[in-house]
A = this chain, B = another copy of it.
């Protein structure tokens, strides 16, 4: 595993726990955690066998089969391409890269690697939330009929306080973009996953609401402590866009770190000719489903607790009604990734899927720069 921030803790939990609940066809071993500083402590804390400082050495090691990339976005391309070329399967955190160019390089590397049986996957783990996977199943079964509209939003508020410091997530050179790439990317991927359709064109606007913030004195988690000095926020705080899906349906998106009181509200509502569904990550064990084929007097959004053994991913966990949490998605991700490696199939989302999301992000920025002009994604 390259990187050991908050995402490193989450991925570690995935690797640690998945084999204890799922019947994996291969037995993962937690070998090395790589970081320029402090990797030893992380390795000890999270239960990795070794720590290392130089990822270039580690991706060449013969005893390593899988590279898990959890660094900031500006290093994804270099690490992932090197790992794939070294014949390692790669799991790479989202968004795939900071630019379309980087993502294209990565997708090409993944395609070449696939020809040699080497697998690459992007870590959009919210696909693995059972309620989201069940939403996709309902759409795929035609329970919603023709999709007419989608509303997708990912709302947080951790920047609403103007004194929150300038972490790497607020710097364009490290993060690529702000709310757009960090959380908007999830909204895009989840919309495309659930509907089975890609965004083809869009009109959007991005905006930085607080232009300057205190520099970071000491980084802890997402926020950290503020210092006396100030620096410029070089990424967006809010991104709003309206896109068209492949079928022609309209989808409107919002990513914001300024929606006061919303902590982690990734919400998707899909409206179709035969039904609708609504998901909210703040109620991640639930899916609301509206069946418009019932008699009018009996219709209504139905709060399904997605904790039944027959729901996706649920069988190995607890009895019905017992909740899963945030990190369970990482165990599901490990399960799916390991299964694909074992079967020799293409895990999804692929690097090509990740490249597409990158192109959507890019189209939003281009549209915003052009006065919200309608802009093709251009896959």
Interface residues of A (CB under 8 A from B): 6, 9-10, 12-13, 16-17, 20-21, 45-47, 134, 144, 148-149, 151, 153, 156-158, 160, 162, 203, 205, 207, 209, 221-222, 238, 240, 242, 250, 252, 254, 256, 258-265, 269, 271-273, 275-276, 281-284, 286, 288-290, 292, 295-311, 318-328, 371-374
**Closest partner residue, chain B, to A276 (CB atom):** B260
- B292 to A372, Cβ gap below 8 A? no
Query: For residue A373, which residues in chain B have a CB less than 8 angstroms away from its CB?
Result: 371-373
- B276 to A259, Cβ gap below 8 A? yes
**Closest partner residue, chain B, to A303 (CB atom):** B300
Closest chain B CB from A175 CB (angstroms): 16
Given contacts A292-B261, A373-B371, contact A242 B205 (CB under 8 A): yes
Query: For residue A254, which residues in chain B have a CB less than 8 angstroms away from its CB?
Result: 151, 252
> Which of A45, A256, A292, A322 neighbours the largest number of chain B CB atoms within 10 Å of its CB?
A322
Given contacts A16-B20, A300-B304, contact A263 B325 (CB under 8 A): no
Listed by A's residue number, 9 A-B pairs whose Cβ atoms lie within 8 Å are A20-B47, A149-B259, A158-B319, A205-B250, A240-B252, A259-B271, A261-B299, A283-B283, A295-B310
Q: How far is the CA of A252 from the CA of B21 in the complex (A)?
A: 38
Closest chain B CB from A81 CB (angstroms): 30
- Identify the 4 closest CB pairs spanning chains A and B, nearest first: A263-B321, A264-B321, A325-B325, A261-B290
Query: For residue A309, which residues in chain B have a CB less than 8 angstroms away from its CB?
Result: 221
- A205 to B203, Cβ gap below 8 A? yes
- A292 to B371, Cβ gap below 8 A? no
Query: For residue A289, which residues in chain B have a CB less than 8 angstroms away from its CB?
Result: 298, 300
Closest chain B CB from A303 CB (angstroms): 5
**Closest partner residue, chain B, to A158 (CB atom):** B320
Given contacts A242-B372, A321-B156, A326-B323, contact A260 B292 (CB under 8 A): yes
Given contacts A260-B292, A328-B325, A373-B373, contact A297 B134 (CB under 8 A): yes
Q: How far is the CA of A318 from the CA of B326 in the complex (A)?
A: 8
- A322 to B12, Cβ gap below 8 A? no
Closest chain B CB from A244 CB (angstroms): 9
**Closest partner residue, chain B, to A371 (CB atom):** B374
Given contacts A158-B320, A240-B252, A259-B276, contact A303 B301 (CB under 8 A): yes
Given contacts A292-B261, A299-B261, A311-B297, contact A327 B321 (CB under 8 A): no
Given contacts A13-B17, A250-B240, contact A300 B302 (CB under 8 A): yes
Beyond A13-B20, A158-B319, A371-B373: 8 further Cβ-contacts under 8 Å? A6-B319, A148-B209, A205-B250, A259-B276, A288-B300, A296-B320, A372-B373, A372-B374
Closest chain B CB from A136 CB (angstroms): 13
Query: For residue A284, which residues in chain B have a CB less than 8 angstroms away from its CB?
Result: 323
Q: How far is the CA of A6 from the CA of B309 in the complex (A)?
A: 14
Q: How far is the CA of A258 from the CA of B303 in the complex (A)?
A: 19
Query: For residue A6, which residues in chain B have a CB less than 8 angstroms away from its CB?
Result: 318-319
Q: How far is the CA of A309 from the CA of B222 in the complex (A)?
A: 11
Q: How far is the CA of A134 from the CA of B162 in the complex (A)?
A: 27
Query: For residue A134, which residues in chain B have a CB less than 8 angstroms away from its CB?
Result: 297
> Which of A221, A286, A309, A323 neighbours the largest number of chain B CB atoms within 10 Å of its CB?
A323
